[in-house]
Amino acid sequence: ENTAKGWKPHRRNFAVVKEAIMDGFVPMSMDKWWKRLKFWLWQDCPWNSIPRRDDFLLHSALCNPDVSPWIVELLLECFPRSAMIPIPGSNGCYPLHIACVTNSYVSLPFEFPNSRNVIEMVAKGYRDAMLLKWNNQLPLHLAIAKSKQWTEMKFLVEDEPVSLAVPESETDFFAFQFMAVHRPYTKLERRRFQNIAMKEVGKDVWKESSPEEKVLHVSKVLDKHEAGILGCVFELLRRNPMLVS
């Protein structure tokens, strides 16, 4: 809700959403909100290949990096079977693959954090998908190619450690090697880092920042991102050091 001191979470509505997640269904009191949510999930869905049906709401939410993990968790509870359904005609694109190729959600300063990450939530919904390839890539390889953080990939590695010994299809690298490969940032990625910096400092602060200050804000995001990559390489190698010998 928008208050005189800026945006703040609506505690009563948030409590109702959490209750809906625990119960696995949306109560009548949320019917108007639920209908709006479904409309905007379809409206803002960037993938045209996803059918506009309730059992594909999860897919639609996962391919949009602006959808909160709370919404993903709600959809998984309301439609648990959706995690097991691939997009028709996609040659095996399951929700887990979508989660791995979509940019990570960046929470707004006023939001309640969700301790669970989207990849873990979806993987638990259909564990078999962790070893299913899409476009000849395991979910772990897709996540690495998208420069996901270790906290996001940890469940994939620890629940299916065999994936560490499967080489990536194009480079023939193991996961830790594939993570270490330098990838020049595309224009879209640079724009994403800028959006992350803007969300972290707040839109008002961003607008008032000088060009030099904006560069500094983005540099901090980049430093954090690259430190995360280095840490991820270490964690991947630590889980299977025999791959070095």
Q: What is the pLDDT of residues 88-143, one digit of tens each?
A: 999 999 999 999 999 999 877 667 777 789 999 999 999 999 999 999 999 999 99
Given a cut of 50, whether residue 19 has pLDDT beyond it is yes
Mean pLDDT across 145-156? 93
Residues 6+ apart with CB under 8 A from 124: 155
Q: Which pLDDT does position 124 carry in this prediction?
A: 97
- In the structure, what pLDDT confidence band is assigned to residue 18 with cuts at 50, 70 and 90? low
Given a cut of 60, whether residue 172 has pLDDT beyond it is yes
pTM score of the predicted model: 0.82
What percentage of the chain has pLDDT greater than the value 70? 89
- In the structure, what pLDDT confidence band is assigned to residue 161 with cuts at 50, 70 and 90? very high
